[in-house]
Amino acid sequence: MVGKRWVAGLAVTGYAAGQPRDELKRLTDALGRPELARVSVSDPPTGLPPWIEGNSDPSWREELNAVELRYWISFGGVEFDTPQLAVVLDEDGQRRICGHATDATPRLLAMLDDGIRDVGLPPFGALSELMPAGVGDGYQQAQDGPYPPEVVPGALEGYARAWQQVGASGGVRVDAFRFGSPEVAQAWAVNEARLRAFSAVQQFDVPGLPGAVGVRLSAVDYLLIQPAGEPPFSDWVYFVAGDVGVQVAVNQDEPDGGTRVAADIALQVAGLAG
């Protein structure tokens, strides 16, 4: 039951595909041995959904004896201030973790429905017109071409271009999808951003592109112990232009890596329209 919904093919690098042992070693080499420092019941609960079918029915909490917890992790004997959230419930006679989010998730979810709006780009034709020719020194192109629309519900066509950071695990990806209407494009962008919000540690704006929303994620939060603010990071920007939805993703593991890279690439994509 422990797992996450990853949209096929949208991973920028190996983070989302996951090499848990390798990523756990990288994390512990950088921060020290992890230990559970504190646990408390989340009161009131945030409503964090579990990774189970039918989680829209509130009865699952009683039926599975579910409880929402906040927990704090220490590394090398140093406790990190920001807690993480987990749903724990009964499954096959055992207590299991079956839901996880960061402490930033509840407030980010509250703003996403109204945060993503049409950015008002000039008319453009092919989705490939929105793809940057490059994203800077130190990156080599790893993918370029149409994207199977059936992977994204409601999409009529898609296009993707991706770059891998040379000699490192970072990468950049730009995806554009055309939908049957602006309303469907809007719904897609909001839904995707909400899915990312469960791993989010920060929301950021894209100066010069009102209506776009940026979300910084803990890139290996599937380990359930990555501290907020500690790399590796995965920065995502979502925006809508008419019946087209765009997402920009940047993975980086520099300790001081800012969100400006993702914001600048989003601006570059928007500037290619028209």
Q: Are residues 30 and 142 in the same domain?
A: no
Side by side, which strands form the sheet with 200-204?
A: 139-147, 155-165, 171-179, 244-252, 233-241, 213-218, 200-204
Alpha-carbon span 214 to 237, nearest angstrom: 4
Residue 129, domain member (yes or no): yes
Q: Are residues 116 and 71 in the same domain?
A: no
Predicted local distance difference test score (pLDDT) of residue 150: 86
Q: Are residues 95 and 127 in the same domain?
A: no
Chain segment 27-81, per-residue pLDDT in tens = 999 999 999 999 999 877 787 887 776 666 777 788 889 999 999 999 999 999 9
Alpha-carbon span 1 to 60, nearest angstrom: 15
Predicted local distance difference test score (pLDDT) of residue 107: 87
Predicted local distance difference test score (pLDDT) of residue 178: 96
Q: Are residues 55 and 151 in the same domain?
A: no
From first to last of the 274 residues of the chain, give the pLDDT tens digit.
333 332 323 344 444 444 788 889 989 999 999 999 999 998 777 878 877 766 667 777 888 899 999 999 999 999 999 999 999 999 888 999 989 999 999 888 888 877 899 999 988 889 999 999 999 888 999 999 998 888 898 999 999 999 998 887 789 999 999 999 999 999 999 999 999 999 999 999 999 999 999 999 999 999 999 998 899 999 999 999 999 999 999 998 776 778 999 999 999 999 998 6
Phi, psi of 159, rounded to the nearest 5 degrees: -145, 140
Report the predicted TM-score, pTM, of the whole model to 2 decimal places.
Answer: 0.86
Q: Which residues pair with 87 in a beta bridge?
A: 68
Q: Are residues 72 and 168 in the same domain?
A: no
Residue 179, domain member (yes or no): yes
Contact 193, 206 (CB under 8 A): no
Predicted local distance difference test score (pLDDT) of residue 53: 67
Task: At 196, list the tokens.
Answer: 């990312």
Q: Are residues 30 and 89 in the same domain?
A: yes
Domain end point (choices 37, 70, 104) = 104
CATH no. for residue 117?
3.40.1000.70
Residue 1, domain member (yes or no): no
Tokens 């920060």 identify what position? 202
Q: Are residues 34 and 139 in the same domain?
A: no
Q: Are residues 89 and 22 in the same domain?
A: yes
Predicted local distance difference test score (pLDDT) of residue 132: 96
Domain that holds residue 80: 14-104
Contact 72, 27 (CB under 8 A): no
Predicted local distance difference test score (pLDDT) of residue 257: 73
Count of domains forming the chain: 2
Domain end point (choices 104, 126, 141) = 104
Q: Are residues 23 and 132 in the same domain?
A: no
Domain end point (choices 104, 131, 149) = 104
Decide: residue 213, CB within 10 A, 0-12 exposed, 13-18 middle, 19+ buried.
Answer: buried
Q: Are residues 170 and 230 in the same domain?
A: yes
